[in-house]
Amino acid sequence: MKVFLACLVTLGTFLTETTFAQVQCAVDVQINEGDAITMCETSPTTISGTNGFVNYAWTGPETQVSQTITPNFSGQYVLSALDGTGCVSTDTIIVTIVSIPTETIISSEGNPICSGAGTTLSLPNSYTTYNWTGGVTTPTFFASGPGTYDVTYADDNGCSGSSSITLTEAQFTLTGSESSLCTGGAITLTASGGTSYVWSTGETSSTIVVNPSNTTLYSVVISSGSCSQTLSTTVEPGEQQTSSLPDTLYVGAGDAQYVAGPEGFQSYVWSPTDQINNPFGSGVTFIGTTSQTLVVEATHADGCVITDSVVMIVVDLTIPNGFSPNSDGKNDLFRIPELDQYPGALSVWNRWGDLVLDDPSYKNTWDGTCQTSACLGSGDLPQGTYFYQVDVEGITFTGYITLKR
């Protein structure tokens, strides 16, 4: 090979020449691997020049001052070599570096796979050789169940790669949990393990809320890839959490009446607070002189809030000490004004202890006549003093009344 010989030649990271002359080196350098080589990216090959030269320098995609080089890039590499006479010769080689991608193993049945079924594993690209788990050397591999499967593959250049897949088995489940007590005992049904869900109700989410009035069978078709399974459950009708407060309670003026709130709640707030002992108790003691509506707000641990109320009627009767049933239009009836608002029973006895009136639902209509079998004559009671008892929802008032004609 003819080269230019310089009067001043420096071989290193670069070549400097000042005067050139075309000469023929006695021996030309040669690259031992020839004029072209293909190598694998994962296991590059070291290329080298022939022995017997003073200095070597590689140029091309990368540079290096040495007799050998391990290429990292594809392209044309040039080796320059300086012999003992100062003659420089060169040789070239085309380097091709082959990279093999990390393949994603394909499962014909998807992943997860169906319970009790297998799947065929393969690679998206073709290779010359394969080595699957267990020594199987075919392009495809049948996996009989869940587990981890490996494959090593190589192309016709001998470049190899490896991949792995962990197969799981589809686990489809259907569970139910009670919702908030405030929702009437509704049940939340949750299906899991799939990518799509179709309920007997027509809904397609993984979770539905049901509150049947009768015992009802609910089913769901759960699917994942080619796997599907129908699961079902029976739901009994639930009962909504309600308060146990009565509509109305009667209490004597200044008497104590305990009122219990709904059971099973975490906190309570009662209002108004002016006639109760503890506005934050599960129950309160009412002592009052004025009727009012007592309201409780009960909060459950799950966040449910129930509000209920009870009308507290303070019974404080205005009972006259006498009346004059003489048909003059004035004070002819024994009248207790409060009994126009709520029910009461009235019983009256004469001084000998005979029952002359027994009205379980007194409406302020007694006109001084005897209304029992204990009386004789016309029915008009004589003037005198009579003993009475008034009962309003268990609250009793007793005393004497004077009847005048």
| SS3 state of residue 87 | coil
d(CA 243, CA 283): 12
3-state SS class at 280: coil
Q: Which fold has domain 2-98?
A: Immunoglobulin-like (2.60.40)
The pLDDT of residue 238 is 61
Q: Is the dihedral of CA 233, 234, 236, 237 positive or negative?
A: positive
For range 329-346, the mean pLDDT: 94
DSSP-based three-state secondary structure for 69: strand
pLDDT recorded at residue 1: 46
In eight-state DSSP terms, residue 46 is P
pLDDT reported for residue 240: 60
Q: What is the pLDDT of residue 16?
A: 41
CATH, domain range 322-403: 2.60.40
Residue in 341, 355, 344 with CA at minimum distance from that of residue 387: 355
Indicate if the pLDDT at residue 90 is higher than 50. Answer: yes
* pLDDT at res. 2: 39
Query: What pLDDT does 378 receive?
Result: 62
Please give the CATH topology (third level) of the domain spanning 248-315: Immunoglobulin-like (2.60.40)
Domain-by-domain residue ranges, the chain?
2-98, 106-167, 174-235, 248-315, 322-403
**pLDDT over 50 (residue 17):** no
Question: 2-98 and 322-403 share one CATH topology?
Answer: yes
Question: Residue 7, Cβ neighbours under 10 Å: how many?
Answer: 10
Over 70: is that where the pLDDT of 12 sits?
A: no
DSSP assignment letter at 238: P
At 304 the pLDDT is: 77
